């Protein structure tokens, strides 16, 4: 449907360019708006089909995306930083023990309060470290208080 809209607007654009009486604003709008709508529609469909970003926080670590490279176990995480960027372009920096920081592509569209989410992840990291330390000492595994 959007492809037909774009094709019809291309025809209208050619007519507007030939017609000297049309304003430049109408010509520019008819050239820009349909491809923009097509791009937005395609982006929305891509997000729905691929279900991105997918982030899972469980007892094993943080999993984001669908590749194996996009998994960090709790033992491999040195620290979780504050959100970087604004609104759509916000990221959480997660610093692995043995590498450069990885950016979790989570914006304010995905989490209402990104600062609180970062704090929650830090609490989970401390909880997992406490469980690992207790397991190393041979203590029975008990969940630390939340």
* Mean pLDDT over each residue of the chain, to the nearest integer: 76
Report DSSP state, residue 65: S
For residue 143 the two structure tokens come to 């969940």
Please tell me the distance from the alpha carbon of residue 90 to that of residue 93, in angstroms, as a whole number.
Answer: 10
Report DSSP state, residue 98: T
The partner residues of 95 in beta bridges, in order of sequence, read: 79
35-91 per-position pLDDT tens digit: 888 888 888 888 778 766 677 888 888 887 766 667 888 888 888 888 888 766 778
Give SS3 for 102: strand
Q: What pLDDT band is residue 145 in, cutting at 50, 70 and 90? A: very low
For residue 144 the two structure tokens come to 């630390």
Please tell me the distance from the alpha carbon of residue 86 to that of residue 134, in angstroms, as a whole number.
Answer: 39
Q: What pLDDT band is residue 146 in, cutting at 50, 70 and 90? A: very low
Backbone dihedral angles phi then psi of residue 95, each to the nearest 5 degrees: -100, 115
For residue 45 the two structure tokens come to 């469909």
């Amino acid at each position: 449907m959007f492809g037909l809209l774009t094709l019809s607007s291309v025809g209208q654009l050619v007519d507007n360019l030939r017609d000297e009486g049309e304003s430049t604003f109408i010509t520019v709008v008819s050239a820009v708006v349909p491809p923009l709508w097509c791009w937005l529609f395609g982006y929305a469909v891509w997000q729905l089909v691929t279900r991105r970003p997918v982030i899972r926080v469980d007892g094993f670590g943080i999993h984001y995306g669908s590749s194996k490279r996009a998994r960090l176990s709790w033992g491999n995480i040195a620290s979780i930083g504050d959100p970087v960027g604004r609104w759509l372009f916000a990221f959480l920096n997660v610093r692995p023990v043995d590498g450069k920081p990885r950016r979790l592509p989570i914006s304010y569209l995905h989490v209402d309060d990104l600062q609180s989410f970062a704090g929650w992840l830090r609490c989970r990291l401390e909880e997992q470290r406490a469980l690992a330390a207790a397991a190393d000492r041979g203590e029975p595994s008990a969940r630390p208080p939340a």
